[in-house]
Structure 1
Amino acid sequence: MADLVGIFAASHTPVMLNFPDAIPSEDRDAIFAAFKDMGRSIAALRPDTVIVISDDHVHNFFFNNFPAFCIGAAESYETPVEHWLNAEKQVLAGDAALGAHLVGEALQHGFDPSFSIELILDHGSLTPLLLAGLIPDVRVVPLLVNCVQPPLPTMRRCVEWGQLLRTAIASFDAGKRIVILATGGISHDIATPRMGMVNEEFDRQFLANLENGNTAALVEHATAQVGEAGNGAEEIRNWLMAHGAAGGGTFEPLYYKAVSKWYTGIGLARWHVEDAK
């Protein structure tokens, strides 16, 4: 069986790359240092593959075809799809075998994912990997969750997807070391009059719920209150998938700050899978 050796989560926003000087240097340095520290922690786990849970920001998918969940099963992925992102073009190595395995296991366990071998990844996947210093040294399997266009998958279903991931990884090739990196959120609004407003109260309660480990309370709060945290906060679904995969492993907040000029509550965290039940 493969080993799930680490689970991490981090906010993503293109503003971190495009306008790094929009915030005070001490805040920028602290945030970038937190990403580097997370990257070193991931690298120390010697993963063969990182499953990157993110969302597609209406680049690969649109109204003609917008899956709730899509698993990448390609040998490589071009990124970024955005021509305006201040990042060099990259080709990330994929893990087609693991991607195909996840698709098969999902179908066998009552889940119905889409899959693709032609994804072009956007800032949601690239930015955390880049700031963490993990490129070009990791292989990735992207798992894209619809956090953009209603109707959205429920918060509870995302937890269940995380539980599935844990089971599916355990039945993959023996000796393989897998890390999950969930990206997105926390509170932010895009293209609305509230853009730039960060709901720190929501963010801190969400992080506290993750730390408490009460899944029912976590899902209830996320479901009932996400609308107060902005349309971009729908990306907490990706964190909930990581929570589900953690199997009760201890949650450790690594960094948080409400950064209005980056439009986002910036958070980083990890789950200690060695504590899982």
Structure 2
Amino acid sequence: MAKITGIYTASHTPVMLNFPDRIPAALRDEIFGAYAAMGQDFMAGKPDVLLVLSNDHLHNFFLDNFPAFCFGCAESYESPIEHWLHAKRRTFAGDQAFGSFLLQRALENSFDPSFSMEMVLDHGSLTPLELAGMDPDLPVVPILINCVQPPMPIMRRCYDLGTFLGKAIAEYDRVERVAILATGGISHDIATPRMGMVNEEFDRTFLDLLESGDIDGTIRYATDFVHTAGNGCEEIRMWMAAMGAAQGARYERTYYRAVNDWYTGIGIGRFVVGA
């Protein structure tokens, strides 16, 4: 029976890696330090495998085929797929047996995800892992959630997916320790006239609700007000899945800043599991 060692939420933006000097050095060091602290906490749990909840930025999918959920079932994953991202190219080891197990259990539990044995990972997955200093040899199982092209899975469905994942992980007996990283958001807008605007009020209210433990209220707020926080804020679907996997565990934010010159409300936090 596998144990969840940690569930983490973290924003991602390629600007962190491509233009780190666009913000004052002190602020940059503060943010990078928060990611490094997340990585230290993450590795202290000594996970055997990492489940990455992220989204695809039109690299694996396009309008001719865009699943709501896609489970990675590959032996390895190339990253980053973007040639312009200032990050070293690397190959993440996969855990094909674990990914396949989750896929089969999802089908048995009334989810109908797509799956891929040739998935590539973009900045959404790579950026927080790079900044966190994750062990490069730790196997990953990516699950991609459509946050880009409507129609998207509703917030409640993403929460339900996370609830399923938490239970399925507990049933798996081929690894002992599993960590989860949900990455995306918070408020930001890409390729619109609002790009560079951050809705700090939305972000702080959203984080307050997560910390309050009000699951229904958090889902309702995310559903009703995500449109006020930019098209990139749709990525909080991964945070909904993380909340489901946490099965009521307390959430604590470890960092938040509205960083307009990085176009994003930068949020980091964790669900305190096993406590």
Matched, 1:21 2:21: yes
2:238 corresponds to: 238
Moved over 4 A (4+): none
1:30 CA drift (Å): 0.5
Please name the residue that 1:223 is paired with. 223
Root mean square deviation, CA, Å: 0.8
The equivalent of 1:47 in structure 2 is: 47
Match of residue 75 from structure 2: 75
Q: Count residues in correspondence.
A: 275
Matched, 1:148 2:141: no
- Name stretches of at least 5 consecutive residues in structure 2 with no aligned partner: none
Quote the sequence identity (%): 60
Where do 1:1-277 residues align within 5 Å?
1-173=1-173, 175-275=175-275
**CA spacing shift, 1:85–1:175, aligned 2, 3 Å:** closer
Partner AA of 2:160 in structure 1: E
Tell me how far apart the structure 2 counterparts of residues 265 and 18 of structure 1 sit (CA, whole Å).
17
CA shift, 1:7, in A, is 0.3
Code of the residue aligned with 1:250 in structure 2: it is R
- The whole-number CA distance in structure 2 between the counterparts of 1:192 and 1:109 is 38
Q: AA paired with 2:161? A: W
Q: Does the residue aligned with 1:220 lie in a helix, a strand or coil?
A: helix
Structure 1 residue 137: deviation in Å?
3.2
Alpha-carbon distance, 1:139 to partner? 1.0
TM-score norm. by structure 1 comes to: 0.98
Q: Secondary structure at the match of 1:210?
A: helix
Cα distance per residue 1:177-208 (max 9 Å; x no partner): 00000000000000000000000000000001
In structure 1, what residue type is equivalent to 2:261?
A: K
For 2:216 and 2:182, locate their aligned partners in 1 and report how far apart those are by CA, in whole Å: 20
Q: TM-score, normalised by structure 2?
A: 0.99
3-state DSSP of counterpart to 1:274: coil
Aligned letter for 1:134? M
3-state SS of the aligned residue for 1:144? strand
Query: Distance between the aligned counterparts of 2:24 and 2:2, measured in 1?
Result: 43
Shift of 1:4: 1.0
Deviations 1:72-129 (A, max 9, x none): 0111100001000000110001111110011011001111111101011000000110
TM-aligned CA deviation for residue 175 of structure 1: 5.0
